[in-house]
Chains A and B, each alone.
Chain A
């Protein structure tokens, strides 16, 4: 008999793909594919339209719309829940290794989403100026109202990161409230809500009053500066990852029976 077997990471990844990745009950792979498809359409639309728009105020709208799918996937990952019996819960590796692999997979998925957002922001030419102004300690919203048209201040970078975490958190909270009731309908409702939210915020952010001033964003100026906001984001991201460790341990740690 030929000896089989692979290392624990490979075992976990194969189990993850067979279970959480493609399990027909959760349709995670189909949700991801659908979101990537939407992302592609948004991105193309954003590029095509941005080239025809002269107003700087409008470009932020398309950036936000283009990167929305990155947020949506983040939100969908907030919905992610552990389930038993599943391929992952039955994979024959120790619970510590399962937790480690869970963590790596989650971090990688989040990194992919953030990388997607970052790539799109850099394509629109707002990532680098944003980071430079962030490193110079420029405050948020130096120019009132330029929420998404943030070519020369830090708000674009920080706002998008913060929004990503917020959306993930909202997904997780909804999943928690529903407890064992992960439902595709929630993802759909959530996706629509996020799209509307992004659309409204962008629209409002880009909307000029007749006197030349913008109509919203004054509340957000309360955030003192880029570094403070970055700290908040970093803490939120750490909290998010800590939650994953906790959930993973809770799920995989052998019961004392």
Chain B
């Protein structure tokens, strides 16, 4: 069952267009959203949160958002790419707003998480580092106990230690099977760790939408010193480097001398699809619908 159903979503900025995106975010799963800078990830997230003018349809649990605006905005939480509140105020004041705005705000958990991430409550937010601001936003949204959590690069600027802590938090959130996460990131290692589904956007269009493990298993990453005509036939977007060639292939039985074959990671898959930047618009013929 889909927690969020996105149908033919189009956002037209003039210079950029998110073009007719169809997407189902599975309930109880973590969906990773990947794509290059300017591919439309943040725009998609803003459209889901109804923060940009768009056409199409977004259903939450099968219902339109406008049917229960107040309830929906409490059940769907989002950590945007930057804080949507002033950074001139103290963290405790922002928490005060959350306490007032959200009946379910868990103050005890808030204090625990602030201590866990070593975020001083009586400090103005602009004095936090970028990574600390990201963590603070995540803590606030988690403590209001939403059902769907949308994250726009939550681990950007966060050190590896805290990144692991953020991932653990997301995993803790997912202990409840009714919870759902949509997770946009450039740090694809995070998706290796937690994602169930992978969605890729390229130039405002969805080019991939697949279950992660199945997707990774259906490809092989091949490194070879030379490209032969046989390899060229099965190679997807081969990339040439000083050490030879690397490419993705759907031929799982591929083997041979001088061939280094392995199952790709999400990052390798992403790079393999993009290739040298001249990859076709839709490597999967429109993706899973």
Contact = CB atoms under 8 A, between A and B. Distances in A.
Contact of A90 (B65, B73, B126): B73
A81 interface: no
Given A84-B51, A257-B55, A257-B56, A19 B86 contact: yes
Interface string A226-257: 00000000000000000000000000001111
B101 A92 contact: yes
Interface residues of A, number: 32
Contacts of B80: 85
B92 to A, nearest CB: 12
Contact of B102 (A5, A19, A95, A257): A5
B172 interface: no
A23 B85 CA distance: 6
A85 B46 contact: yes
Interface in A1-32: 1-6, 10-11, 14-15, 18-19, 21-24, 29
A87 interface: yes
Contacts of B88: 22, 24, 29
Nearest to A91: B101
A14 B101 contact: yes
B253 interface: no
Interface string B94-127: 1011111111111110000000000000000010
Interface string B1-41: 00000000100000000000000000000000000000000
Contacts of A91: 101
A3 B104 CA distance: 6
B106 to A, nearest CB: 5
Nearest to B10: A257
A256 B67 CA distance: 10
A94 B69 CA distance: 6
A1 B46 CA distance: 31
A143 interface: no
B84 A86 contact: yes
B interface SS class = mixed
B49 interface: yes
Contacts of A217: none
B164 interface: no
B104 A4 contact: yes
A2 B65 CA distance: 28
A14 B100 contact: yes
Interface in B56-105: 56-58, 64-66, 69-70, 73-74, 78, 80, 84-89, 93-94, 96-105
Contacts of A86: 84
Specify which of A4, A15, A19 lies most central, judged by the most chain B CB atoms within 10 Å of its CB. A4
A221 B50 CA distance: 52
Contacts of A133: none
Given A87-B85, A92-B70, A254-B65, A5 B108 contact: no
Given A14-B97, A257-B58, A4 B105 contact: yes
Given A5-B103, A85-B80, A90-B49, 9 more contacts: A4-B100, A5-B99, A10-B100, A14-B101, A18-B97, A23-B86, A86-B84, A257-B54, A257-B57
29 contacts: A1-B106, A2-B107, A4-B98, A4-B103, A4-B105, A5-B101, A5-B102, A6-B100, A11-B100, A15-B97, A18-B86, A18-B93, A19-B84, A19-B85, A22-B88, A23-B85, A24-B86, A87-B85, A89-B51, A90-B51, A90-B73, A92-B70, A92-B102, A94-B70, A254-B69, A255-B66, A257-B50, A257-B56, A257-B57
Interface of B: 9, 46, 49-58, 64-66, 69-70, 73-74, 78, 80, 84-89, 93-94, 96-108, 126
Nearest first, the 6 A-B pairs at minimum CB distance are: A22-B86, A5-B103, A254-B66, A6-B100, A18-B85, A84-B51
